[in-house]
């Protein structure tokens, strides 16, 4: 766990983290505004983000070389990243930003199940309880938002892929700097999406960008991807993992608030959606609090 810094430095990093999470929440808005398909959108996004990180390394004279074995592993992991982002933006286009973000919150559930299986560690009873509550919340949303079934399924699949590459990256980050991991995974994502578009005929007239799309994509690829990623990692040098996780849970909240401001999604949502969303988001917020309390009492 990271050591806490002075109050001034701590407040500065908390502000940076809140701003970074807010930016992550803004990606859903940009995804809804950009007119091209989900796969084409992510192709442009990872291309811009990879170029931005490459320039970042060159300006800072950062040595970002890795072995061939690690390069291959990171490029393959990039395939999971690509699938995650494609499914996230597909979920938005098939439903709403709010639905996509709530479904993505099931990341907690899938990580609670997959991480012990992959790392062969003890399964946490608290995590399983949290996962069951999230399942209930998503079931309620399914029950009342049947017109968004495809969007909900895409959002859930998106969370599965996010869980997988997060678990994998938790190992790499112990050895390599996060921007280096991000660069090779984004490059790998670009490689796999390029193949996917070639096979499915995605290189067509629909890939041509409108003037507004160009600005949105540049913002998405630079500020919302490269810059936000580097900023999010930098604050972890000063903040505890608990604080980072707790504040990161605000991403769906920020995203849903922004979707109301931009698209008026509130008018589209039924009472069932709000009940399900409340169950999911409450579980996410209360989970780290409960885990910390149990740890204090010596029962974890």
String of DSSP letters for 124-166: PHHHHHHHHHHHHHHHHHHHH-GGGHHHHHHHHHHHHHHHHHH
Q: List pLDDT tens digits, range 64-90.
A: 999 999 999 999 999 999 999 899 999
Secondary structure of the chain: what % helix, strand, coil (to 5)?
80, 0, 20
pLDDT for res 191: 96
pLDDT for res 4: 46
Classify residue 8 as exposed, middle or buried by CB count within 10 Å of its CB (0-12, 13-18, 19+): exposed
Q: What is the rounded distance in angstroms from the CA atom of residue 144 to the CA atom of residue 137?
A: 11
pLDDT for res 75: 95
Contact between 19 and 232 under an 8 Å Cβ cutoff? The reply is no
pLDDT for res 55: 93
pLDDT for res 267: 57
Contact between 211 and 250 under an 8 Å Cβ cutoff? The reply is no
Which residues of the chain have a pLDDT value below 70?
1-6, 145, 232-234, 236-249, 265-269, 288, 298-300
Q: Is the dihedral of CA 109, 242, 102, 89 positive or negative?
A: negative
Q: At what angle do helices 251-263 and 97-104 cross, to 10 degrees?
A: 170
pLDDT for res 50: 93
pLDDT for res 153: 92
Task: Provide CB contacts within 8 A for 167, sequence distance 6+.
Answer: 111, 114, 115, 118, 119
pLDDT for res 246: 55
- Domains in the chain: boundaries: 7-296
pLDDT for res 107: 77
- Give me Rg for the CA atoms of the chain: 19
pLDDT for res 198: 94
Contact between 96 and 265 under an 8 Å Cβ cutoff? The reply is yes
């Amino acid at each position: 766990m990271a050591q806490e810094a002075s109050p001034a430095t701590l407040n500065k990093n908390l502000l940076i983290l809140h701003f970074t999470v807010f930016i992550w929440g803004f990606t859903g808005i940009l995804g809804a505004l950009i007119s091209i398909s989900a796969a084409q959108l992510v192709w442009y996004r990872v291309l811009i983000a990879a170029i931005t990180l490459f320039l970042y390394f060159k300006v800072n004279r950062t040595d970002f070389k890795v072995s061939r074995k690690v390069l291959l592993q990171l490029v393959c992991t990039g395939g999971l990243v690509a699938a995650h982002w494609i499914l996230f933006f597909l979920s938005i286009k098939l439903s709403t930003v709010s639905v996509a973000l709530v479904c993505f919150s099931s990341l907690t559930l899938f990580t609670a199940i997959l991480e012990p299986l992959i790392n062969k560690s003890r399964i946490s009873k608290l995590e399983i309880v949290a996962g069951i509550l999230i399942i209930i919340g998503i079931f309620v949303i399914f029950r009342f938002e049947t017109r968004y079934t495809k969007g909900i399924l895409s959002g859930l699949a998106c969370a599965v892929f996010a869980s997988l590459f997060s678990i994998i990256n938790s190992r790499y980050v112990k050895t390599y700097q996060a921007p280096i991991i991000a660069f090779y995974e984004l490059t790998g994502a670009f490689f796999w999406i390029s193949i996917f578009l070639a096979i499915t005929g995605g290189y067509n007239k629909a890939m041509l960008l409108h003037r507004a799309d160009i600005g949105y994509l540049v913002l998405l690829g630079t500020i919302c991807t490269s810059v936000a990623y580097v900023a999010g990692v930098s604050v972890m040098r000063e903040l505890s993992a608990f604080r980072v996780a707790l504040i990161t849970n605000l991403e769906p909240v920020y995203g849903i608030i922004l979707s109301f401001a931009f698209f008026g999604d509130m008018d589209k949502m039924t009472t069932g959606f709000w009940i399900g969303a409340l169950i999911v988001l409450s579980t996410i917020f209360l989970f780290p609090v409960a885990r910390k309390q149990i740890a204090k009492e010596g029962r974890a």
